[in-house]
A and B are shown apart, each in its own frame.
Chain A
Amino acid sequence: CIPVLSTYPILKTLLRRVEKVDGGLDSQDVATSLGVDHQAIVGAVKSLLALGDVISADQRSSKHWELTGEGCEIAEQGSHEARVVSSIPEEGMPQSQLMKLAFGKVGFSKAMSNKWIRLDKGHEGGPRIFKTVEHLEDLVRDKLLLVQKGQASQLEEKEKNELKKRKLLSEVTVKSYWITKGSCFSTTITKQETELTPEMIASGSWKEKKFKPYNFEALGVAPDCGHLHPLMKVRTQFRQIFLEMGFTEMPTNNFIESSFWNFDSLFQPQQHPARDQHDTFFLSDPAQAHEFPQDYLERVRKVHSEGGFGSQGYKYDWKIEEAQKNILRTHTTAVSARMLYKLAQQEKFTPVKYFSIDRVFRNETLDATHLAEFHQIEGVVADYGLTLGDLMGILHQFFNKLGITKLRFKPAYNPYTEPSMEVFSYHEGLKKWVEVGNSGMFRPEMLLPMGLPEGVTVIAWGLSLERPTMIKYGINNIRELVGHKVNLQMVYDSPVCRLDS
């Protein structure tokens, strides 16, 4: 801040005072002796500091005594008790009248204890008060006047504390500067330039100019730019990881799916709770899917209701009506099923690695970590002779890329994978194992009706995109991350996403 002209006189005065003293001086004393507000001197000190090493100033604090509002009143008009005495005429005054005065009550009792007045209770016409002294020494006022003159040091501590107790004095802490000459001390002020201009260079005047140093403490100007959403930044990273690992992206742009592809093709029985109205969004329009690969559908019906392909089946009455029901897909595995079916229709089987990251929908009760829609990350590998050890190995590599190195696997149940494994990682912050994903080998009852060759194993895993993102960005409520209610400031401020650091 360049000092504005109106403050020049005070700057000059201050510099002259600093010049005259050998050691230094206190800003508070300067303010008192100049009779100006201390803040004005503080402003001058800051302005001078901004000019470079003209002066140096150390902040310090000192305590001093000050009169309270009531104390000021007493210093001016006398103590309450003195005022009581002076307001009583020779013939005395009714007590009731005295009490009506502003200082009456306090003054009366103090004056009584000082024996400056007496009370005639039995006086005709009610209690009456008479003076007992003509001249009195108003010590309270005298002491306050001393403090007001800045001579509080003449009073004893005990006296000061007593006045403080009476709320006439208060002890205040004053912050002030101890001002001394700087290495470039001068009593003349030169204006500092903030910017180098083409004109200065052209005229060479820059050589004479003094430049204001940069303030590295302040923030710079925020660039005017757009921002990517943090969840989408994390999606980009996961996509990158899959691509690095040689996985091909599946076409998951079909939110509406038939129950057939979402459940039946995955060997999920028709009475499974996930197929309840409470868990899944069903559609009323278009309510039903109308086209299925008929021979495949027949094999699915059979494996559910009668078994086959080495399976006992579920032995229930499988209904096409249930399979036809359209829903909002509950997992992207519906797309994996379509892709594996498509793969099985190839003339010759070729190994594949597939991935997808896209929205899925659940008609669930919503809370701080659950929404009706979220993003599922899924990876699928199909090849001859894949093992459970391969699944664990590939998960190890995948999670390594996320910076997660400690993994362990818990047996779990899932209708379409067997074995099924929950993936746990050791959380260093929470000091415990937390679930980070689900995985398994697709059941033969799912793969063989599709027409995949007998020896082909398909391993797969999945996790949600939201959960690692919430952990990454320290967000506890999913509503603060996804949806129209998010605070855009959060989007503006979110850092780049490096999952492995």
Chain B
Amino acid sequence: MPTVSVKRDLLFHALGRTYTDEEFDELCFEFGLELDEITSEKDIISREQGDTKAEGASDVILYKIDVPANRYDLLCLEGLVRGLQVFKQKMEAPRYRRVSPASSEPQRLVITEETTAVRPHAVAAVLRNITFTQERYDSFIELQEKLHQNVCRKRTLVAIGTHDLDTISGPFTYTAKPPGDIRFKPLNQAKEYTAQELMSLYKTDSHLRHYLHIIEDEAVYPVIYDSNGIVLSMPPIINGDHSKISLNTKNVFIECTATDLTKAKIVLDMMVTMFCEYCEEPFTVEEAEVVYPDGRTCQYPELAYRKETLSADFINRKVGISESTEHIAQLLTKMCLRSEVMSDGEQIEVEIPPTRSDVIHACDIMEDAAMAYGFNNIPRTTPRTYTIANQLPLNKLSELLRQDLAAAGFTEALTFALCSQEDIADKLLKNISETRACRISNPKTAEFQVARTTLLSGLLKTVAANRKMPLPLRLFEISDVVLKDESKDVGARNNRRLCAVYYNKSPGFEVIHGLMDRVMQLLEIKPGQGNGYHIQAADGCVSPVTICGEMDGLKDHRGMKRECRGVED
């Protein structure tokens, strides 16, 4: 869940009133947000780096607000305020318009064929006559970062570049070139570098090094030039220094390059809708034309308004309320989904704005109606669904046996299903190839290399960790191991096992033997060859017996373990 940090006083100023922390927390809760933390820059620095470093840092109160992962329209102060104001019915949701430039051709971004191999999509737009202040500028930069981390999937899907349009001149070319052929002065650097040099320069950059892998191994790197050959950006890594925006920038050219066009359009829509309120003509965005390698052209941003029609009955039935069509239309309008009752008085026409890319189905609209109604105002009812409960036979038997094993004096252990390869092979004197073990490809540590094929290793580790306890230790576990099995769709299956360990200074084989006899008695299996059970040394069929003379360096404590296979095999 992304967290957005906003200055409290700035937020209250924009909301036109102040709240106590509790009141604001309550408002967030209703709206599906979470006021996660109340802090300040000073607090944060002193917590992370110590009091001395925090000296002189700002102690302006910050609200850290958790935003649902699909609500990109709430990732900055501007969006949050708009969402909350509309929700509180203090303002109407603005209507975002794409406009043609007043007296010239639209800016053009020409995509060349070469990009297909590495990053095929690009979209663009212009924010004309925008007025930045320090706060607006900071928020603008912060939103790019938030989008990069979330919907852009750390720039793999989409990368955003913003440029001072007055420092460059179109048409712009989005192409891809061998890294050696790209040369420019990157953002905040003093000299020019080739793309190759940049990649090694940024290897040690705490921020940028995380994005290098996206294009590192490609034959060509994506790059955007203006008509004079000035590099705007080398997405998804870095912009050029030449076109960087500042507080004084009046006209902003925004480009988004992508591997996923749908996401690129969403990201561009977010960038422009959030900040076009600061344009001379608020809530308008100047279009840009994108020319595809095949000659096709498209105008961006899309700023598409989509209409959905649904009935009040649908919402009432799904939520469990009985509200009038008019009221439901009002509720939806509060959620920035402008709604109108249609002439039949039953249907509602809902307009989904470009800011609400999360609304992809009628159920999303229904949720917004429920939220605006207030989840906690919905009457809590009992479904009439009549069913008879059944236990899973395997679990029922396991539950019954657990009780009886405890009654027999054995204590239940609870060990991990994942372990190291050593635990199930080398340490039990087995070859890993005999184990039918499933292997994990991306374990962070050796503890998670394989799924266990035996419960024994976990029980032995439990004994090892409890050597201070008075002897004897009597332990058991009933749980699943995992084995490869070609006959299953995923190529593996669980297998329920019972394992018990008796640990004492003398072997006491008769103790564990007695427990096995008891288990067999409980399962109504008689001793004897044929239909019954019998014990056989080493690689026997029913109950392999292993005598383990030494464990974890404890030479005087002899233990015996026995694993009973096939309880419910």
Q: Say yes or no: B386 contacts A289, CB within 8 Å.
A: no
Beyond the given A314-B262, A385-B317, A410-B375, could you list 12 further A-B residue pairs with CB under 8 A, ordered by the A residue number?
A225-B409, A231-B414, A239-B399, A256-B493, A311-B361, A326-B490, A392-B381, A408-B376, A413-B1, A444-B363, A484-B462, A486-B465
Determine if B407 is an interface residue (Cβ-Cβ < 8 Å): yes
Which residues from B are CB-within-8-Å of A208? Answer: none
Which residues from A are CB-within-8-Å of B370? Answer: 388, 411, 419
Determine if B326 is an interface residue (Cβ-Cβ < 8 Å): no
A133-145 vs B, CB cutoff 8 Å, 1 = contact: the mask equals 0000000000000
Kindly identify, within residues 271 to 311 of chain B, every residue whose CB is under 8 Å from any CB belonging to chain A: none
- Minimum C-beta distance from B369 to chain A (A): 9
| Of B165-173, B201-209, B441-449, the one touching chain A | B441-449
Which residues from B are CB-within-8-Å of A397? Answer: 382
Which residues from B are CB-within-8-Å of A352? Answer: 387
CA distance A107 to B407 in the complex (A): 77
Determine if A19 is an interface residue (Cβ-Cβ < 8 Å): no
Q: Say yes or no: A258 contacts B71, CB within 8 Å.
A: no
Q: In the complex where A225-B406, A390-B320, A413-B71 touch, is A421 in contact with B414 (Cβ < 8 A)?
A: no
CA distance A413 to B415 in the complex (A): 33
Determine if B416 is an interface residue (Cβ-Cβ < 8 Å): yes
| CB-based nearest A residue for B373 | A388
Q: Say yes or no: A227 contacts B416, CB within 8 Å.
A: no
- Minimum C-beta distance from A75 to chain B (A): 51
Determine if B413 is an interface residue (Cβ-Cβ < 8 Å): yes
Determine if B439 is an interface residue (Cβ-Cβ < 8 Å): yes
Determine if B492 is an interface residue (Cβ-Cβ < 8 Å): yes
Which residues from A are CB-within-8-Å of B399? Answer: 236, 239
Which residues from B are CB-within-8-Å of A245? Answer: 389
Q: Say yes or no: B363 contacts A410, CB within 8 Å.
A: no
Q: Say yes or no: B489 contacts A412, CB within 8 Å.
A: no
CA distance A485 to B363 in the complex (A): 46
- Minimum C-beta distance from B310 to chain A (A): 9
- Minimum C-beta distance from A443 to chain B (A): 6
Determine if A23 is an interface residue (Cβ-Cβ < 8 Å): no
CA distance A388 to B366 in the complex (A): 10
Determine if A282 is an interface residue (Cβ-Cβ < 8 Å): yes
A432-452 vs B, CB cutoff 8 Å, 1 = contact: the mask equals 000000000101110000000
Which residues from A are CB-within-8-Å of B32? Answer: 410-413
Of the candidates B379, B386, B390, B459, the one whose C-beta lies within 8 Å of that of A351 is: B386
Q: Say yes or no: A413 contacts B68, CB within 8 Å.
A: yes
> Residues of B within 8 Å of A, CB-based: how many?
99
Which residues from B are CB-within-8-Å of A485? Answer: 461, 465
Kindly identify, within residues 430 to 468 of chain B, every residue whose CB is under 8 Å from any CB belonging to chain A: 438-444, 447-448, 451, 458-459, 461-462, 464-466
Which residues from B are CB-within-8-Å of A387? Answer: 317-320, 381
Determine if B553 is an interface residue (Cβ-Cβ < 8 Å): no
Q: Say yes or no: A396 contacts B406, CB within 8 Å.
A: no
Q: Say yes or no: A389 contacts B444, CB within 8 Å.
A: no
Kindly identify, within residues 418 to 469 of chain A, every residue whose CB is under 8 Å from any CB belonging to chain B: 418-421, 441, 443-445, 457
Determine if A284 is an interface residue (Cβ-Cβ < 8 Å): yes
- Minimum C-beta distance from B401 to chain A (A): 12
Determine if A9 is an interface residue (Cβ-Cβ < 8 Å): no
Q: Say yes or no: A271 contacts B394, CB within 8 Å.
A: no
- Minimum C-beta distance from B349 to chain A (A): 16
B473-512 vs A, CB cutoff 8 Å, 1 = contact: the mask equals 1111000101010001111111010000000000000000
Q: Say yes or no: A363 contacts B442, CB within 8 Å.
A: yes
Q: Say yes or no: B387 contacts A248, CB within 8 Å.
A: yes
Q: Say yes or no: B484 contacts A482, CB within 8 Å.
A: no
Q: In the complex where A292-B489, A419-B370 touch, is A229 in contact with B363 (Cβ < 8 A)?
A: no
Q: Say yes or no: B480 contacts A253, CB within 8 Å.
A: yes
Between B392, B440, B476, B490, the greatest number of chain A beta carbons within 10 A of the residue's beta carbon is seen for: B490
- Chain A residues near B (Cβ < 8 Å): 224-229, 231-232, 236, 239, 242-251, 253-258, 271, 273, 277, 281-292, 307, 310-316, 326, 328, 351-353, 359, 361, 363, 371-373, 381, 383, 385-390, 392-394, 396-397, 408-413, 415, 418-421, 441, 443-445, 457, 482-489, 491-492
B375-409 vs A, CB cutoff 8 Å, 1 = contact: the mask equals 11011111111111111101100010011011111
- Minimum C-beta distance from A284 to chain B (A): 4
Q: Could you give 20 example pairs across A and B, Cβ below 8 Å?
A: A226-B408, A228-B402, A228-B403, A232-B414, A245-B389, A249-B390, A253-B494, A290-B491, A312-B360, A328-B451, A352-B387, A363-B443, A388-B375, A390-B382, A413-B68, A443-B361, A444-B361, A484-B458, A491-B412, A491-B413
- Minimum C-beta distance from A244 to chain B (A): 8
CA distance A242 to B379 in the complex (A): 23
Between A326, A363, A411, A491, the greatest number of chain B beta carbons within 10 A of the residue's beta carbon is seen for: A411
Determine if B362 is an interface residue (Cβ-Cβ < 8 Å): yes
Which residues from A are CB-within-8-Å of B440? Answer: 281-284, 328
Q: Say yes or no: B376 contacts A488, CB within 8 Å.
A: no
- Minimum C-beta distance from A235 to chain B (A): 9
CA distance A313 to B491 in the complex (A): 31
Of the candidates A277, A390, A492, the one whose C-beta lies within 8 Å of that of B383 is: A390
Q: Say yes or no: B413 contacts A441, CB within 8 Å.
A: no
- Minimum C-beta distance from A147 to chain B (A): 50
Of the candidates B375, B383, B402, B439, the one whose C-beta lies within 8 Å of that of A383 is: B383
Q: In the complex where A373-B416, A387-B381, A488-B473 touch, is A226 in contact with B405 (Cβ < 8 A)?
A: yes
Which residues from A are CB-within-8-Å of B391? Answer: 239, 243, 248-249
Of the candidates B153, B358, B469, the one whose C-beta lies within 8 Å of that of A273 is: B153
Of the candidates B263, B388, B411, B444, the one whose C-beta lies within 8 Å of that of A491 is: B411
Which residues from B are CB-within-8-Å of A315? Answer: 262
Pick the 10 closest A-B CB pairs, nearest first: A389-B320, A387-B320, A411-B32, A286-B491, A413-B68, A284-B441, A484-B461, A419-B367, A226-B406, A291-B489
Which residues from A are CB-within-8-Å of B157? Answer: 271
Of the candidates A281, A314, A443, the one whose C-beta lies within 8 Å of that of B443 is: A281
Determine if B321 is an interface residue (Cβ-Cβ < 8 Å): yes
Which residues from B are CB-within-8-Å of A271? Answer: 153, 156-157, 260
Which residues from B are CB-within-8-Å of A244? Answer: 389
Q: In the complex where A289-B491, A387-B381 touch, is A229 in contact with B413 (Cβ < 8 A)?
A: yes
- Minimum C-beta distance from B165 to chain A (A): 30
CA distance A363 to B409 in the complex (A): 36
Determine if B31 is an interface residue (Cβ-Cβ < 8 Å): yes
| CB-based nearest A residue for B478 | A232
CA distance A247 to B390 in the complex (A): 7
Of the candidates A232, A284, A396, the one whose C-beta lies within 8 Å of that of B439 is: A284
Q: Say yes or no: A389 contacts B412, CB within 8 Å.
A: no
Determine if B69 is an interface residue (Cβ-Cβ < 8 Å): yes
Q: In the complex where A277-B442, A282-B441, A413-B71 touch, is A246 in contact with B260 (Cβ < 8 A)?
A: no
Which residues from B are CB-within-8-Å of A226? Answer: 405-412, 474, 476
Determine if B34 is an interface residue (Cβ-Cβ < 8 Å): yes
Determine if B371 is an interface residue (Cβ-Cβ < 8 Å): yes
Q: In the complex where A236-B399, A392-B375, A410-B29 touch, is A243 in contact with B317 (Cβ < 8 A)?
A: no
Of the candidates A243, A282, A386, the one whose C-beta lies within 8 Å of that of B385 is: A386
Determine if B70 is an interface residue (Cβ-Cβ < 8 Å): yes
Of the candidates B262, B383, B411, B417, the one whose C-beta lies within 8 Å of that of A227 is: B411
Q: Say yes or no: A411 contacts B469, CB within 8 Å.
A: no
Q: Say yes or no: A394 contacts B375, CB within 8 Å.
A: no
Q: In the complex where A258-B490, A482-B414 touch, is A411 in contact with B387 (Cβ < 8 A)?
A: no
Q: Say yes or no: B389 contacts A243, CB within 8 Å.
A: yes
| CB-based nearest B residue for A392 | B380
Kindly identify, within residues 345 to 373 of chain B, every residue whose CB is under 8 Å from any CB belonging to chain A: 358, 360-364, 366-367, 370-371
Determine if B341 is an interface residue (Cβ-Cβ < 8 Å): no
Q: In the complex where A282-B440, A492-B411 touch, is A443 in contact with B394 (Cβ < 8 A)?
A: no
Determine if B418 is an interface residue (Cβ-Cβ < 8 Å): yes
| CB-based nearest A residue for B69 | A413
Which residues from A are CB-within-8-Å of B413? Answer: 229, 484, 491
Q: Say yes or no: A445 contacts B414, CB within 8 Å.
A: no
Q: Say yes or no: B416 contacts A484, CB within 8 Å.
A: yes
Which residues from A are CB-within-8-Å of B364? Answer: 418
